[in-house]
Amino acid sequence: MTGIPFPDFDPVALHLGPLQIRWYALAYLSGFIGGWLYGGWLADRDPDRRPSREDIDNVLPWMVLGVILGGRIGYVLFYNLDYYLSDPIKIFYVWEGGMSFHGGLLGVAVVCIAYARYHKFHPFALGDIISVVAPIGLFFGRLANFVNGELYGRPTTVPWAMVFPSDPSQTPRHPSQLYEAFLEGFVLFVIMFFLARSAKIRRTQGFLFGALLVGYGTARFCVEYFREPDYQLGLYFNYFSMGQLLCLPMIAAGALVIRYARKKAAAVAVTAEKDAAAKTE
């Protein structure tokens, strides 16, 4: 089986003389703009509490910084530490690729905590909104991975297998970037969208953040079985990729956050009922 030829994509979306604008950069830009617009709309749904639309506007530049720095540092630490220790200047060569979602998540978490604490509201309130909009960036990012022909899948004989130009073996492989765009982007966006429609869930601080951790972690863990492991790492215990190992604590943390959020919301409801009963006596 020869596989489907990879589409003849130009990784550069716009050629403006010496300036080149790549699809990957546009994917990040689309994710940030889409997240900003949707996040502002979500903030307007609950105008009596923070974060407000103004908070979303103000925190956006810091979120961009958190995603880029966290994603890059995470990739260096989790995926290719020996290489970057041997040539540290390469850490700054971001145009050569190398970003980690898990690192970006940690960077965003730091921004959420710092911004919310400074402005005196709970970090989960901001984290919940960011969690609902995150699949937008994931969707565009995975499509950009596909256009670049990177992070391709494992060898397969399925009818839709593709031969990627950057694959030295030229073996038909799963287009795992599209699987990830569908599960981590589209499906997760739909799930988070319907969860966020409930005012009760939106006011259960931390629930949406926990749902994202569980949802993304589960989707990524499953897709990793179709994605080619990083060549410099291979598989751990002859079975798990680094991405899967990073997803396991993520799923567990998400479940704990959901449990904490529900228990706290229940305690607040009981207190409110007692206060209301006391006022009627």
Query: Looking at the predicted structure, is the pLDDT value of residue 39 above 80?
Result: yes
pLDDT band at 271 (very low <50, low <70, confident <90, very high): low
Q: Which amino acid is at 198?
A: S
Query: Looking at the predicted structure, is the pLDDT value of residue 99 above 90?
Result: no
Q: Burial-class residue 3 by CB neighbours within 10 Å (0-12, 13-18, 19+).
A: buried
Q: Burial-class residue 95 by CB neighbours within 10 Å (0-12, 13-18, 19+).
A: exposed
Q: Please tell me the pTM assigned to this model.
A: 0.91
- End-to-end alpha carbon distance in the chain: 79
Query: Looking at the predicted structure, is the pLDDT value of residue 267 above 60?
Result: yes
Mean of per-residue pLDDT scores for the chain: 91
pLDDT digits (tens, 9 = 90+) for 248-263: 999 999 999 999 999 9
Residue of higher predicted confidence among 97 and 19: 19
Query: Looking at the predicted structure, is the pLDDT value of residue 17 above 90?
Result: no
Q: Torsions phi, psi of 43, nearest 5? A: -60, -35
Residues 4-13 have a mean pLDDT of 86
